[in-house]
Amino acid sequence: MRGPSSELLGSLERFPGAIATLFLSSRQAVLTIAPECSELVNDVGYTIAVNFTFTHSFANAFAHVTAYKDHVNLGFNRGAELDDPMSRLKGDGVSVRHLSLRSEADLNDPYTMTLLQQAADQAYRPLEALEPLTIVKGPAT
pLDDT at 139 over 70: no
Please write the tens of the pLDDT for every residue from 63-106: 999 999 999 999 999 999 999 999 999 999 999 999 999 999 99
The pTM assigned to this predicted structure is 0.93
Average pLDDT over residues 26-50: 94
26-44 CB burial, b ≥16 within 10 A, e <16: bbbbbbebbeebbbbbbbe
Average pLDDT over residues 109-117: 97
pLDDT at 141 over 50: no
Average pLDDT over residues 12-39: 97
